[in-house]
Amino acid sequence: MSQFPEITELEELLYRIDANMGAADAHGALCGMFCARGTIELSEWVDHVIGEQEQGNELLHDVVHKMSDLHQSTLEMMNDPTGDFKLLLMDDDDPLPERVEALASWCQGFIYGLAAGGIQEGSELPEDTAELLKDMVEISRAGHDVDDAGVEESDDNDDEAAYMEIEEYVRMGVLLIYEELQPLQSTQTIH
């Protein structure tokens, strides 16, 4: 399997080249494009993520290399019959508000990727897919509740458990959407 990059490393590279997207939303966009089309050329996805860039930039080469690894490993994971697919998100030991923001960005990217892949608003979709997409739109608007004094309003353990459930819901939802929209792709073995 290809190397699945660390989010912080890719995030830093994308920031340094002033890309259109961060790492989480870029991965979401890739997954959305895969769900919409079954496959997507690396160059098309890279163009969406990084926008106009000056060619010959050494840093740009590093970014494209990392994105190539992410592209290939994501395609392999989405087609893995064991469901060994993961979202490019922050680690569990990162602050919860940052993880919530990253998951919201990931979902925004996913919805963007579906549209870039050809799924338009009002498209006829399987019922489960349509419901999951509505939920992802809501998750993409997520924030972490903080009162005026900056103190979190609910119990940290409850928040942590809720976040983990939502992250798993999104992860499994992506696999279901992929299977429903690309049934032949998701049953093929990649060699």
Residue-level pLDDT at 184? 57
CATH number of domain containing 136: 1.20.120.740
Question: How many domains does the chain fold into?
Answer: 1
Residue-level pLDDT at 170? 97
pLDDT digits (tens, 9 = 90+) for 78-110: 998 888 899 999 998 999 999 999 999 999 999
Residue-level pLDDT at 122? 76
Residue-level pLDDT at 46? 95
- Give the residue numbers spanning the domain of 37: 7-187
List Cα–Cα distances, 112 to 32, 34, 81, in angstroms.
Answer: 7, 12, 26
How does residue 155 score in pLDDT terms, banded at 50, 70 and 90? low
What lies within 8 Å, CB to CB, of 149 at 6+ separation is none
Which residue, among 27, 47, 46, 24, has the nearest Cα to 35 in the 3D structure? 27
DSSP H or E stretch at residue 181? helix 156-181
Residue 149 scores a pLDDT above 80: no
Number of Cβ atoms within 10 Å of the Cβ of 123: 14
Residue-level pLDDT at 142? 81
pLDDT digits (tens, 9 = 90+) for 15-42: 999 999 999 999 999 999 999 999 899 9
The answer to pTM > 0.75 is yes
Residue 154 scores a pLDDT above 80: no
Residue-level pLDDT at 143? 64
Q: Is residue 161 part of a domain?
A: yes
Residue 191 scores a pLDDT above 80: no
Q: Is residue 108 part of a domain?
A: yes
Tell me whether residue 167 is exposed, middle or buried, using C-beta atoms within 10 angstroms of its C-beta: 0 to 12, 13 to 18, 19 or more: buried
Q: Is residue 1 part of a domain?
A: no
Residue 166 scores a pLDDT above 50: yes
Q: Is residue 2 part of a domain?
A: no
Report, as an integer, the average pLDDT of 59-64. Answer: 89
Which residue, among 39, 52, 150, 164, has the nearest Cα to 100 in the 3D structure? 164
Residue 10 scores a pLDDT above 60: yes
Q: Is residue 142 part of a domain?
A: yes
Q: Is residue 14 part of a domain?
A: yes
Q: Is residue 65 part of a domain?
A: yes
Q: Is residue 40 part of a domain?
A: yes
Report, as an integer, the average pLDDT of 111-119. Answer: 94
pLDDT digits (tens, 9 = 90+) for 118-129: 998 778 888 999
